[in-house]
Chains A and B, each alone.
Chain A
């Protein structure tokens, strides 16, 4: 197990290097002149030229890349073109808001999704199933900007229970995490239900029942435990996506997170920030995948890595 982990961790390095090349090339191939955007709307050509040299954008691309990788290896991700601040500071400031929002949303969405999924599967075809799936379909279908604005209108403007937007106290988390988690909970519920029903058809479940094992034990030990494997994969994927910061939710709730930073950076052609963010997201995904693999082993003794 330990050897496996070390191998996987070493394997991350070439992947990140490849990603850095791709991201660098891709970002620099985007049309648009960052020097002009940085210099501002009413800058003269002279101003733009000054900015271009100041940012080193007049040097050949490969030279810029080598400098970039050299700096990244020393932990220097460069300076934001827009705010002229260290990229690590920009990202550092926004990482925790996105991280906590993701954790809280995922936590409630996973629990809620599992409960609805299992109850729908166990009472298949009955009202619990129809009700649960109605909630799930609604959760998937509601566009998050609409749900977000609706929640603000009800709970902030009309009832005054929660702040409309921003980041600070626990109360600030309630509405954004509901908005962000709704879609995830819905996906989890549907996924759990189908995975559960599939496993419930397996021979060993029938055998267990034939042996006279209590129904509750069959459900929780035999079925759920096996159904968890694909569910863990799903949780991992969703978690990875959310860690990238939800652009819509962060915009609606004025959340100072990574998603909004990414949009701002893309429209501003803030290369250093875009590159660092994508590297960070890739790293997060890789680590989450690793974690998911380890969790498989814990849940199912058959999948043990040697």
Chain B
């Protein structure tokens, strides 16, 4: 017997089964902070850079393992002394507004970025270039004022991505709210804490992107962010705090991503100040701290001990001998250095929970060798002044500083030069250990003076070896990054510098 009701139900069922084929595939990502802007030439935070990367692209970039890859460039040639780079560009690429991508567009972007009058915060990525020459439509030549071996890495930095020249002309500084690029997604809207982008139908990579839209929502509370992915409101969230990893692991619908980052954590000892000007004291403190306990206590096991001043995820990393945990040896060295009864000192760090926990851990560890640590967490503004704003090395109040670093250019240079180069004392750069060693300085300079990979590797191996032995820091760990994603999502990557890559994201 024919039943209208049954037919209706069957029809409805059929529809509901068929729906996914037409349903828009909208990827929602829960992120910890608010964006600051979508003009990468003027952005300083990894999140804004990741967001810009959905829309804009550079000549070079990084893949999911932080390996440098050509993006809008096809290949390049460099002179041996690293003073001239000729870059061949990809053909037939168009910006979202239809403007063709060519050497002229690159020249306009880089000249905008380098021009000091524009006051763009990423100017230093290209301001060593004296001239940008359009050789032909698909070739651009960069002539440098001085040798700079890490040039291609600088161009791979998100800060050197390419805007549509028409958009730059039309919006001026307001491109930060109206970005137009060549990337997989087109800008739709950005309000308060939500960014929306939609699929670029004419994307130059065949078959990509595979989702119709991406939404980045800022959810600052860790628990709320995890709840989003548990309920299916989001398909990807980061970071996942280590203490919540087990909750996500138990959920059958979720995957936990855990991978080594390039974020190194260490205590910089003020090498100019007593008692840390004595290498034996610095060595002693390295023996006195159990790095495995550090990983366990501070990062719930999500960190690996450091075995070089450069993390394994960066090119030119050279493994060194780990400093073993040896309290007896530490005591002996302190005695030799004239501190048989230890000493008192103070440690600075940020005021977030993890930093405070790390400082308390160090306090407890160093107490074993009678070094009494005063723990002083600093609010960000105060830290900017007390640590980074000091104009002369002798005026600083820093004795010990606990902090982390992630080399955003993905090159060993940006790990070594800002942190351990003799000319990088604050406020110029970030050598808060005030470490200055002629051998290390020479090696860092040599690494920049050539584009030859083997020569650079040799120079950076030397720098790492000498710096490591001199123990300017208490070496602690390389953080592992945690994120949670829905099992239905693939092709979304969490990068070692805490950025995300969603070009190949796919929802099933």
Could you tell me if A43 and B121 are in contact, using CB atoms closer than 8 angstroms?
yes
Could you tell me if B227 and A165 are in contact, using CB atoms closer than 8 angstroms?
yes
Could you tell me if B221 and A40 are in contact, using CB atoms closer than 8 angstroms?
no
Q: Is the interface of A mostly helix, strand, loop or mixed?
A: helix
Binds A, one of B212-220, B282-290, B442-450: B212-220
Q: Interface 1/0s, chain A 136-172, versus B by CB < 8 A?
A: 0000000001001100110011001001111100000
Contact among A40, A84, A165, A166 for B45, CB-based, below 8 A = A40
Could you tell me if A37 and B228 are in contact, using CB atoms closer than 8 angstroms?
no
> Within 8 Å CB of B176, what residues of A?
83-84
Could you tell me if B381 and A32 are in contact, using CB atoms closer than 8 angstroms?
yes
> Within 8 Å CB of B109, what residues of A?
none
**Chain A contact residues, CB within 8 Å of chain B:** 30-34, 36-48, 50-51, 53-54, 82-85, 93-94, 97, 145, 148-149, 152-153, 156-157, 160, 163-167, 251-254, 256, 260, 264, 267-269
Contact among A54, A152, A267 for B227, CB-based, below 8 A = A152
* Cβ-based interface call for B14 (8 A): no
Could you tell me if A251 and B44 are in contact, using CB atoms closer than 8 angstroms?
no
Could you tell me if B119 and A41 are in contact, using CB atoms closer than 8 angstroms?
no
| Known interface pairs A39-B121, A152-B227; 4 further A-B residue pairs with C-beta atoms within 8 A, sorted by A's residue number | A33-B385, A50-B121, A149-B223, A164-B224
Could you tell me if B429 and A93 are in contact, using CB atoms closer than 8 angstroms?
no
Closest Cβ of chain A to B238, distance in Å, is: 15
Could you tell me if B124 and A254 are in contact, using CB atoms closer than 8 angstroms?
no
CB-CB nearest in chain B for A41: B44
Q: Of residues A30, A34, A82, A254, which shows the largest number of chain B Cβ atoms within 10 Å of its Cβ?
A: A254
> Within 8 Å CB of B124, what residues of A?
44, 46-47
- Given the contacts A83-B37, A256-B192, A157 and B217 also touching, CB distance less than 8 Å: no
CA distance A260 to B42 in the complex (A): 23
CA distance A251 to B222 in the complex (A): 10
CA distance A33 to B389 in the complex (A): 8
Q: Of residues B176, B193, B230, B386, which shows the largest number of chain A Cβ atoms within 10 Å of its Cβ?
A: B193
Closest Cβ of chain A to B196, distance in Å, is: 13
* Cβ-based interface call for B430 (8 A): yes
- 9 closest Cβ contacts across the A-B interface? A32-B381, A40-B44, A256-B192, A254-B219, A164-B227, A36-B384, A54-B119, A45-B428, A45-B427
Q: Interface 1/0s, chain B 285-320, versus A by CB < 8 A?
A: 000000000000000000000000000000000000
> Within 8 Å CB of B504, what residues of A?
none
Q: Of residues A33, A41, A253, A260, which shows the largest number of chain B Cβ atoms within 10 Å of its Cβ?
A: A41
Q: Can you list 11 A-B contacts with CB-CB less than 8 angstroms, sorted by A residue number? A: A36-B385, A38-B44, A39-B121, A41-B44, A50-B119, A152-B227, A163-B231, A165-B233, A167-B192, A252-B224, A254-B220
Could you tell me if A252 and B37 are in contact, using CB atoms closer than 8 angstroms?
no
